[in-house]
A and B are shown apart, each in its own frame.
Chain A
Amino acid sequence: MKIVSDLLRQADPLNDDLRRLDEARDQIRRTVVTAASVARPRVPRRKAALGAAGALAAALIVVGLLVGLGDRGTLRAAVRFEMRLAEAQPIPGLIVARVADSGRVIYLHPETIVTNEDIAQSWVIQDGPDRFSVSVEFLPAGAERMRQATAIHLGHPVAILIDGEVVIAPIVRSAISDSAAITGDYTRAEAERIASGVGIR
């Protein structure tokens, strides 16, 4: 007679799978901490029905931004923001790009999902004593485009472009809709500059 318990222990996937947690830990941590930073008090259902179209942020992207932000002088020249779907493998018709923080090569879809035009508001979040990031919330139309685009793109990268440069391309783990967070080792001044810059239409 064989014992079910022994078989379970022998077949335990954790015997060789803990390294996957090590690889993903930091990304998941950033995502959930940022989500906590931008979460807002729940709106009572009745008030929501009266027209609170912007409900709570539902899904988040964590973006590490390591590029320098030069002096841009005027508000018009402020930060240009785009998000596009991307692929890890080459596909004819896609645009080759290199991710700034890692040097990884990805392949951008030509269509832009959201831009500065789709940002309803942006604000600075303090991640640590000297670390700041930026959160952006999309207007309803942009949020819906994000949701539709990313819902069928699970397991593939989505690229964040700042001034035309891919700053990071995280893998889509669940559909993204209302908001995104741009995180990195920013100073407060840098984060404020991005937050005010991306909000310019």
Chain B
Amino acid sequence: MSGQPIVSALAMTVEERPSDRVAALFDAHHQRIYRLARRLTARADDALDLVQETFLRAARAPKSVPVGAEREEAWLVRVLINLRRDQWRRAAVQRRHDAIAAPQLRAEPDHGPAVIARTTVWRALDRLPPRRRAVVVMHELEGLAVSTIASQLGISAITVRWHVSAGRRDLARVLASRHGDYE
């Protein structure tokens, strides 16, 4: 008697349903994905939309998500950054259109110094391309090692270091133009 049918039946029994897989994926990674999304967007609502869309990509094609916590996380991070990059490109087109259609200067609201400083920093960050911004956030705010960032984004360590360096330089230049010297 062949054992094959038993093996197949067992495989069918223990095969994880897509919804279970995605639920487990969400439970394991949603906080980390939200933290990154929030630091890549201007508003919390935008970050929540990104989180939802990221996991919806997994929900629509759960078999494309690799197995293993680290690989899952890297996959989700890459999807998140790609989604953000798409948004960033669309927004850039819209900004160009708006600038052509109705160029105007907007007065700064009357906020306190702390709010202005915070707004200035994040506006400077907003000027970075999404992948560079992601690298800067992961390195400076999440404290991830260069090798970890490289692994999660699927790029080389050299490229990560270059983004960190260029990102710091870009930020310092924008901030210095507004509020003095930075390094």
Could you tell me which A residues sit within 8 Å of B by CB distance? Answer: 1-5, 7-14, 17-18, 20-21, 24-25, 28-29, 31-37, 39, 42, 56-57, 60, 125, 127, 155, 173-174
Contacts and interface: CB of A to CB of B under 8 A. Distances in A.
B59 A13 contact: no
24 contacts: A1-B183, A3-B182, A4-B183, A5-B168, A7-B117, A8-B136, A10-B117, A12-B39, A13-B44, A17-B47, A24-B48, A25-B30, A29-B26, A31-B52, A32-B52, A33-B19, A35-B56, A36-B18, A36-B58, A39-B18, A42-B61, A173-B48, A174-B49, A174-B53
Query: How many interface residues does chain B have, given as a range?
Result: 35 or more
Contact of A31 (B56, B125, B141): B56
Interface of B: 17-19, 21-23, 26-27, 30-31, 34-35, 38-39, 44-45, 47-49, 51-53, 55-56, 58-62, 117-118, 121-122, 125, 136-137, 140-141, 168, 171-172, 175, 180-183
Contacts of B23: 29, 33, 36
A3 B35 CA distance: 22
A125 B61 CA distance: 18
Contacts, number: 124
Contact of B141 (A1, A9, A29, A37): A9
Contact of B182 (A4, A25, A31): A4
Given A8-B141, A17-B38, A28 B48 contact: yes
B37 to A, nearest CB: 9
Contacts of B45: 20, 155
Nearest to A56: B60
B11 to A, nearest CB: 18
Contact of B181 (A1, A12, A21, A32): A1
A43 to B, nearest CB: 13
Contacts of B39: 12-14
